[in-house]
Each structure stands twice: as structure tokens, then as C-alpha cells.
């Protein structure tokens, strides 16, 4: 009888689980199996009991196993999150999570699952992230962890955590790349119609995304125009004139609608533009700096260090 060489993946599903966090990981590993033509991953969904799990959306999932009969050792152990901050699980569940994490080659959580592995004592002194909306509470609950507020996903040795919801796909792609190489990870991303396989260090809430949340038509119009013309004069005075407002009123309403000043938005927008050019082209750094509106290579380097903690050259080499 042939022995399977597939990597075992145990996924723990808490009550009120966000269904996409389970399906995102499962479907990404499924596509890796399909692209490769054989079983690279065998995924098992585990819950505290054998009763169907009612997801936050109303979808019901029947677990494959319970914590009492799950594999003792898995290659990869993933704790999924609830919709919102999950309740602290029972001590029996926490003990099981600790044991699974200890025995697996790698372990971690997606989205608010970080709270659960935090409750199990697995993130003290470790670099972690979660959905941007719950970062403040994660920091308050686990002050000894090292929160990376703007990351899509974080690896700290064998520990991994990801930001909200679809960031689980980015994490799963990174795990596939780690196991089987970049070509397979990119093939899976293409098949899943994912525009770009985002590296972990990318922002989970960029200026381009923030621009989509503005509710006032003049502000939204200015944001969209700025995104299309990052190398233009984007001073507050010029942007206010384009919105047909006084600079003072424009700044007040802009901050009210977006949570940032016009100057902060412009710098984030230009850095986002530069990052895409660094990732997707081989343009010289000076050209990237000019095209993104960051000015010279020197001023762009300072902006990257201030916002991201790395230079443009380091960013291109990493991503």
C-alpha cells in the first residue's frame, strides 16, 4: 500500500467562524494539488465537537474530526478566526492548540485566529498581525507580543499570522511557494484570478484602498485624480482648488472623510505607486522616484525609510 507524501494541514474552526477564512486556505491548497496533478496537501477541518459549525454567514460546515481524534502531529497547523474577536475558548481547546503548535513543523493563525493562539500563550515576544480593525484590541490583550500593524501576513520562525479575510489566500500562497517554489504559487494565483500575489510586507490598507472609502464626491474626485497623476503638483492648495474648496475647509473635510491629512494621503499614494513600479518593472530607481512623484532617488529613499523602514533598493530585492 502506497504511503501518501502529501503534507497534512490541520485547520481549527472556532464557533462563529468566518467561512471565507476556511475556504480561502482550503481552495488555495486545492488549486496547488490540481496544478501539480497530485495531492500535495491534505486538509482536515477540526472543531471542538463533531456537531456542524455554523459560520457567521449562516453556512454550516461539518468538521472532519474533533480535537479528541485529530492527528497528533500535522505538518501545518492553522487556527482560523471568528467574525470579530473570538471568545476565549475552553482550557481543553487551549491545551490542544498548544500541543498541535508544538508538534507541527509550522503553525499559526489567519485573521482573528491570532487572538486564539494568543490565548494559548503562543505570541508573547513574537511578531504577529491580524485584521486592521482589531489591532488595537490585540495590542491591549497581548502587550508582550510585537504587533505589525500594516502587514498582509507575518512569519516569525515557525509561526505565521495573517491580516483579515482574503489575506489568508496570500498566506497560503506564501506557504506553497515555500514548499514547492514560486512557479507553482504564481500558477495557483493566476488560476484563482488573483491580480497580484502580494508579499507579506505589503500594506493591508493602502492609500489607493483608502481612496475608495471616501463618501464625499469632491474628495473622492480629487483622490481618484491624484492616483492617476502622482507626479503632479499635489499640494494641499492645488488639491483644494480642484475640489473647489478653501484649503482650510478642504483639509478639515479630507481628514473627516479619510482619517488622514491631504499630505499624508499624498505621501502614501506616491509610495504605493513606487512600490508597484518596483515590483512590476525594472525601471531605474531615479525613474521610479520621478514617476511616482517622490522627487529624487534620495528623497524617495527617505520616504521609504520613514514609512516602510527599508529603502527602495531593499524593497525591490525583497518583493
Catalytic residues: 111
141 vs 92: CA distance, rounded Å: 21
Give the separation between CA 283 and CA 287, rounded to whole angstroms.
6
Q: How many CA atoms lie within 13 A of 249 on its CB side?
A: 8
CA-closest candidate to residue 130, choices 239, 309, 140? 140
Angle of helix 19-36 versus helix 182-191 axis, rounded to 10? 120
**Residue 188 Cα distances to 32, 137, 183, 195, 269, angstroms:** 6, 34, 9, 11, 29
| Cβ neighbourhood burial of 229 (10 Å; 0-12, 13-18, 19+) | exposed
Largest CA distance in the chain: 77
Distance CA 192, CA 48 (A): 31
Amino acid at each position: 500500500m502506497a504511503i501518501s507524501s502529501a503534507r497534512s494541514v490541520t485547520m481549527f474552526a472556532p464557533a462563529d467562524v468566518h467561512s471565507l477564512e476556511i475556504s480561502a486556505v482550503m481552495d488555495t491548497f486545492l488549486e496547488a494539488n490540481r496544478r501539480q496533478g497530485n495531492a500535495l496537501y491534505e486538509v482536515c477541518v477540526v472543531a471542538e465537537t463533531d456537531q456542524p459549525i455554523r459560520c457567521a454567514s449562516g453556512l454550516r460546515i461539518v468538521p472532519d474530526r474533533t480535537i479528541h481524534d485529530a492527528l497528533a502531529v500535522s505538518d501545518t497547523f492553522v487556527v482560523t478566526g471568528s467574525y470579530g474577536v473570538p471568545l476565549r475558548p475552553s482550557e481543553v481547546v487551549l491545551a490542544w492548540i498548544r500541543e498541535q503548535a508544538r508538534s507541527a513543523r509550522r503553525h499559526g493563525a489567519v485573521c482573528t485566529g491570532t487572538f486564539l493562539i494568543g490565548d494559548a500563550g503562543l505570541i508573547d515576544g513574537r511578531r504577529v498581525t491580524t485584521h486592521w480593525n482589531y489591532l488595537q484590541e490585540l495590542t491591549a490583550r497581548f502587550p508582550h507580543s510585537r504587533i505589525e500593524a500594516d502587514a498582509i501576513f507575518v512569519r516569525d520562525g515557525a509561526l505565521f499570522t495573517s491580516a483579515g479575510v482574503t489575506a489568508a489566500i496570500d498566506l497560503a500562497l506564501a506557504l506553497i511557494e515555500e514548499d514547492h517554489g514560486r512557479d507553482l504559487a504564481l500558477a495557483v494565483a493566476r488560476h484563482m484570478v488573483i491580480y497580484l500575489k502580494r508579499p507579506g510586507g505589503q500594506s493591508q490598507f493602502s492609500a489607493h484602498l483608502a481612496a475608495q472609502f471616501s463618501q464625499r464626491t469632491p474628495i473622492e474626485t480629487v483622490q481618484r485624480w491624484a492616483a492617476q497623476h502622482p507626479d503632479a503638483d499635489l499640494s494641499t492648495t492645488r488639491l483644494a482648488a480642484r475640489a473647489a474648496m478653501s484649503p482650510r475647509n478642504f483639509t478639515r473635510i479630507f481628514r473627516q472623510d479619510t482619517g488622514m491629512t491631504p499630505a499624508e494621503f499624498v505621501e502614501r499614494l506616491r509610495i504605493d505607486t513606487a512600490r508597484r513600479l518596483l515590483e512590476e518593472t525594472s525601471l531605474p530607481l531615479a525613474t521610479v522616484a520621478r514617476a511616482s512623484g517622490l522627487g529624487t532617488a534620495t528623497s524617495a529613499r527617505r520616504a521609504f525609510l520613514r514609512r516602510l523602514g527599508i529603502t527602495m533598493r531593499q524593497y525591490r530585492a525583497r518583493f
